[in-house]
């Protein structure tokens, strides 16, 4: 642009102040609208009416139809004493790579007379929020004797209950091993791991020093089996494993289990 043209354009702009002001107002309005739009938060990465399949998860039973599942949060037999929000069905959903790795492990274990029992897989973010509310309610002590007899409820967050859970990403699973006396699932019994599932106590730490030798051996066997298929243990809980996905999932889903 030449100097003459620039001066001419500038003069024209001065002669049309109303048009310039209107243009500025439009730009400011668009900027304010963008600022007012809330950023996505964990648990809001999926539409409310989405399904686990829509975000890349599969039901483990589509890969191993007779795998043993005892999805505790779909019923009352859990530390909250009630069915947990988001668990509309007792199903185990995982991102496909994690589900396929778990299915491969189950097939590998069976000739050894062993099977998996699954307690939890994908966990909706709304369930995690319910856990946090439960932990903050000091008046509800119904499950203390069974799940946290030696701890004060207020100490369960964040060591045992976090406000965000890797389960909501779809690659974490809670489980144990069973020994089977025959091919039928009815002949299988859980191995002695030293504590029940979801037992909030240092004894649930995977490498707790004061375990019986058989209990230590059973935990070691579970760690070795899961590790061989890409799952890493959470040291606070012997039952808790996360699959090593690359890149790691970064969305905390809140799709109900249906």
> pLDDT band for position 179 (50/70/90)?
very high
pLDDT higher than threshold 70 for residue 132:
yes
Is residue 254 domain-resident? no
What is the mean predicted confidence (pLDDT) over 197-221?
98
- The pair of structure tokens assigned to 167 is 């389960």
96-109 vs 213-227: helix axis angle to the nearest 10?
130
pLDDT class of 29 with cuts at 50, 70, 90: very low
Confidence of residue 106 (pLDDT cuts 50, 70, 90): very high
Structure token pair of residue 65? 């139809």
* Residue among 88, 100, 181, 237 flagged as catalytic: 237
CA angle 104, 94, 118 (to 5 degrees): 70
* 41/19 Cα distance (integer angstroms): 39
**Catalytic-residue membership of 237:** yes
What residues are paired with 232 via a beta bridge?
A: 242
Residue 31 clears pLDDT 90, i.e. is over it:
no
229 inside domain = yes
> Under a CB-based contact definition with an 8 Å cutoff, are residues 44 and 57 in contact?
no
Name the token pair of 139.
């008046």
Cβ-based burial of 28 (10 A; exposed 0-12, middle 13-18, buried ≥19): exposed
The answer as to whether 255 is a domain residue is no
Q: Within a domain: residue 46?
A: no
100 with 161, same domain?
yes
Query: Residue 15 pLDDT more than 50?
Result: no
Q: What is the mean pLDDT of the chain?
A: 85
Number of domains in the chain: 2
In three-state secondary structure terms, 172 is strand
The domain in which residue 19 lies consists of 3-36
Longest dimension (CA), the chain: 96
- pLDDT category of residue 48 using cuts at 50, 70 and 90: low
Burial of 39 (0-12, 13-18, 19+ CB in 10 A): exposed
Does residue 68 share a domain with residue 26?
no
From 24-38, 80-94, 155-169, the region with the lowest mean pLDDT: 24-38
216 and 116 in one domain? yes
174 in a labelled binding site? yes
- The answer as to whether 178 is a domain residue is yes
Question: Is 240 annotated as a binding-site member?
Answer: yes
- Judge if 25 and 79 occupy the same domain: no
Which residues are bridge partners to 176 per DSSP? 117
- Report the chain's terminal Cα–Cα distance, integer Å: 64
Distance, CA of 117 to CA of 204 (rounded, Å) = 17
Same domain? 72 vs 111: yes
Inside any domain, residue 167: yes
Asked whether 52 and 122 are in contact (CB, 8 A), the reply is yes
């Amino acid at each position: 642009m030449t100097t003459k043209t620039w001066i001419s354009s500038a003069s024209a702009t001065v002669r049309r102040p109303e048009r310039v002001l209107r243009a500025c107002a439009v730009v400011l309005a668009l900027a304010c609208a963008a600022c007012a739009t809330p950023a996505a938060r964990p648990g809001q990465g999926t539409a409310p009416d989405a399904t686990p399949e829509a975000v890349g998860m599969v039901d483990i039973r589509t890969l191993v139809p007779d795998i043993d599942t005892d999805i505790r949060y779909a019923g009352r037999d859990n530390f909250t004493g009630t069915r947990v929000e988001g668990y509309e069905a007792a199903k185990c959903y995982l991102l496909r790579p994690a589900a396929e790795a778990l299915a491969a492990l189950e097939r590998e274990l069976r000739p050894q007379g062993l099977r998996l029992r699954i307690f939890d897989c994908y966990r909706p973010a709304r369930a995690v929020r319910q856990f946090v509310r439960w932990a903050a309610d000091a008046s509800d002590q119904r499950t203390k004797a069974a799940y946290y007899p030696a701890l004060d409820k207020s100490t369960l967050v964040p060591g045992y209950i976090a406000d965000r859970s890797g389960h909501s990403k779809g690659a974490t699973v809670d489980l144990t091993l069973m020994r089977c006396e025959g091919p039928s699932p009815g002949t299988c019994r859980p191995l002695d791991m030293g504590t029940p599932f979801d037992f909030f106590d240092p004894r649930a730490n995977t490498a707790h020093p004061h375990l019986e030798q058989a209990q230590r051996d059973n935990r070691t066997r579970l760690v070795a089996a899961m590790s061989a298929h890409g799952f890493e243990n959470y040291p606070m809980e012997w039952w808790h494993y996360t699959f090593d996905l690359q890149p790691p999932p970064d969305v905390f889903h809140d799709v109900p289990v249906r």
